[in-house]
Copies of this chain bind each other. A is one copy, B any other.
Amino acid sequence: MTTDIKAALRAQAIETPSWAYANSGTRFKVFAQPGVPRDPFEKLADAAQVHAFTGVAPSVALHIPWDRVDDYAALAGHAADLGVRIGAINSNVFQDDDYRLGSVTNPDPRVRRKATDHLLECVDIMDATGSGTLKLWFSDGTNYPGQDDIRARQDRLAEALREVYDRLGDGQRFLLEYKLFEPAFYTTDVPDWGTAYAHCLELGPKAQVVVDTGHHAPGTNIEFIVAFLLRQGRLGGFDFNSRFYADDDLMVGAADPFQLFRIMFEVVRGGGYGPHVAFMLDQCHNLEPKIAGQIRSVMNVQEATAKALLVDRDALAAAQAAGDVLGANAVLMDAYSTDVRPLLAELRAEMGLDPDPMAAYARSGYFEKVCAERVGGTQAGWGA
């Protein structure tokens, strides 16, 4: 069994986001950090470090326009040179002054056109970089009751999604992200998985739902959503992070490691452990160093995955069938209570990696090197 688990863990791919290496913060303050990249090429270099030390972070998500470059083929080539590849293309229709009242759901048709054109440009970038996945998150919504027509905004959304969907090529898909609130504070146009699912269903199989673990109302059972979407064949992937309150974007596994384990267990149980369900990180390292924060996060996902794979599913099924509440719960908890760090250390050694990625990265001197080298220029951030 350990052999199977190791094989499964070795095959895991956790995508890190280019923007995690850039400065980020809250509305109150962005604390700049030393050594932060100044362009997409430097972001890829940092992401490559995460893969180098963990062995399971082979791709990097881009955010357009933050990662806009003149030559995407060159960017993809740069990634390949670094041992990684371009992952999902994330569209951004929330940072232009035109989008004050929405992007694809804006009451003004001119703004909608502009927003949809940006989404289509992102598909062009997918073509240019070989990316198979477009991630769509809309900050669209309203702040006040009456501000706009809830239903008309759905019609506008459906129209834009249709146009983008029809533009997708073979082997391409889009993932529609939902979020309860922020930056919109009264309505959000895709506030929950049901809304995203309903739109995807009307569009076709290339439209799938992506679950950002920080985007739910308090008390929402995320693993239920995971299990349900897998049953319906519509789970496209995850934006992992963690939260105690709202969309806090902390390191995945930092706030509720047991929840992460339950989510990963439903992924495994539902047949979602494979290339079609993307494991992506979407986090903000506001206080902690960014590369190290990503390494730690990748390891947290690995640990939760290892525990999920350890669950004795035969014993679990037997206890469930027998209505043995305590027994079934105990089977699950046995896996969760196991310390999987030795197993992962062993796996890393077998993969030719240092068993302790955090320590190895610290020793590598990479951070000191980029701090020294990356002087001048403008540090990348959410706005650039």
> Which residues of chain A have a CB within 8 Å of any CB of chain B?
24-29, 31-32, 94-95, 97, 99-101, 107-108, 139, 143-151, 154-155, 180-183, 185-188, 191-195, 197-198, 201, 216-221, 223-224, 227-228, 230-232, 243-246, 248, 250-251, 254-259, 262, 266, 269-270, 286-289, 292-293, 296, 303, 316-317, 319-321, 323, 325-326, 328-333, 336-339, 341, 358, 382
Contacts and interface: CB of A to CB of B under 8 A. Distances in A.
A192 B191 contact: no
B230 A151 contact: yes
Contact of A198 (B94, B192, B232, B270): B232
Contact of A144 (B148, B149, B325): B325
A270 B97 CA distance: 31
Given A246-B246, A254-B145, A382 B107 contact: no
B228 A325 contact: no
A32 to B, nearest CB: 7
Given A227-B151, A245-B182, A146 B332 contact: yes
B325 A143 contact: yes
Contact of A148 (B147, B219, B320, B382): B320
A223 B150 contact: yes
17 contacts: A143-B287, A146-B320, A146-B333, A147-B287, A149-B317, A150-B228, A150-B266, A180-B220, A181-B245, A182-B245, A191-B221, A192-B220, A193-B194, A198-B228, A221-B244, A246-B246, A256-B256
For this chain, the copies found in one complex come to 4
A303 B145 CA distance: 18
B147 A337 contact: no
Contacts of A139: 28-29
B246 A328 contact: no
Nearest to A270: B151
A376 B376 CA distance: 28
Contacts of A28: 94-95, 139, 182-183, 382
A31 B99 CA distance: 9
Given A182-B245, A185-B245, A333-B146, A293 B326 contact: yes
